[in-house]
Amino acid sequence: MNLRDIHTPVMLERCIELLAPALERDGAVFVDATLGMGGHSEAFLQRFPKLQLVGLDRDTDALRIAGERLAPFGDRVHLVHTVYDGIADAVTASGFAAADGILFDLGVSSLQLDVPGRGFAYAQDAPLDMRMDQSAGTTAADILATYGEGDLRRIFERYGEEKLAGRYARAIIAARAESPIERSGRLVEILQAATPAAVQRTGHPAKRVFQALRIEVNRELSVLERAVPSALGILPVGGRIVVLSYQSLEDRLIKRAFADASASTAPKGLPVELPEHAPKFRLLVKGAELATDEERAVNPRATPVRLRAAERVRPEHAEGAA
């Protein structure tokens, strides 16, 4: 398996451009909160010869592959097996007080999608696992076997934004009464049979259900809600963060977190903004930035990406604040 053939880092040059001002000093610390197979990290380590990397991933296979890929960089590389809401503890455990630059490349990784047997891809028949960390937790098959109709409908609606959530939940309950739903191929068959022909022409009926199951299995949104404030909290003045999102639920969460961080906390009507109320971050891009047409042509996985970035401009506790 050639890693460079199956893993093309999304918006790599733009990520480097945005984070470079924070990483150019000797000994700067870069946190790749979603290490995957190390494509982004390898490029950053090459571009900044004095950079220290803290790479996080919950997937032990990813950590092993990235460790081999990044071995030439020696003691500049610090890899941590953790979910990314553990970012602050991971940085401390690696021997650093703060992070100068942070990158989140959210969603499912190339490794999880492309390597057979993980159950993430509806185009491949495999056991319905979907755990990013295969050493612990509930599988997608477990959810399909134990959740009631109401809970299945809830996750399909909330995490998949699926209009046919109720129909699919009922179909799954009926099908599992005959035999357990343990493979992705069987789940796809159930969903296709429950989908009106007119709807099937508008896209694959399994796409949103598989997304919803993956998010539920890995608790992705609740983890992200904790991870972003934690990441912002370990950036010093001048520190920068870039987040790549691939679906609207993630992007809305990031948009809201960055908007809160870059807003004044001064009460309305206050004639002068006191230092403790001034925004602590500034946004580095207007809205969400998209991949270029050229990048989407070369790397189809960049098609849905939404990039947001911010820089800390004031310390967490301003001098003179109560």
Residue 75 known to bind ligand = no
Q: For the sheet containing 101-105, what is the strand order? A: 77-81, 52-57, 29-32, 101-105, 240-245, 306-312, 281-283
Please tell me the distance from the alpha carbon of residue 132 to that of residue 186, in angstroms, as a whole number: 21
Please provide residue 162's backbone torsions phi and psi, each rounded to the nearest 5 degrees: -90, 120
Please tell me the distance from the alpha carbon of residue 123 to that of residue 207, in angstroms, as a whole number: 10
Q: Do residues 205 and 276 make contact, with C-beta atoms less than 8 angstroms apart?
A: no
Looking at residue 147, the DSSP 8-state letter turns out to be -
Residue 84 known to bind ligand = yes
User: Which stretches does DSSP call E strand in the chain?
Assistant: 29-32, 52-57, 77-81, 101-105, 240-245, 281-283, 306-312
Q: Integer distance in angstroms from the first to the last C-alpha of the chain?
A: 57
Q: Do residues 54 and 91 make contact, with C-beta atoms less than 8 angstroms apart?
A: yes
**Minimal CA–CA distance to 17: which of 297, 303, 292?**
292
Residue 125 known to bind ligand = no
Residue 112 known to bind ligand = yes
Q: Do residues 181 and 141 make contact, with C-beta atoms less than 8 angstroms apart?
A: yes
Residue 39 known to bind ligand = yes
Task: Dig out the tokens for 52 from the structure.
Answer: 């220290």
User: Residue 148 CB: number of other CB atoms within 10 A?
Assistant: 10
Annotated binding site for S-adenosyl-L-methionine: 38-40, 57, 84, 105, 112
Annotated binding site: 38-40, 57, 84, 105, 112
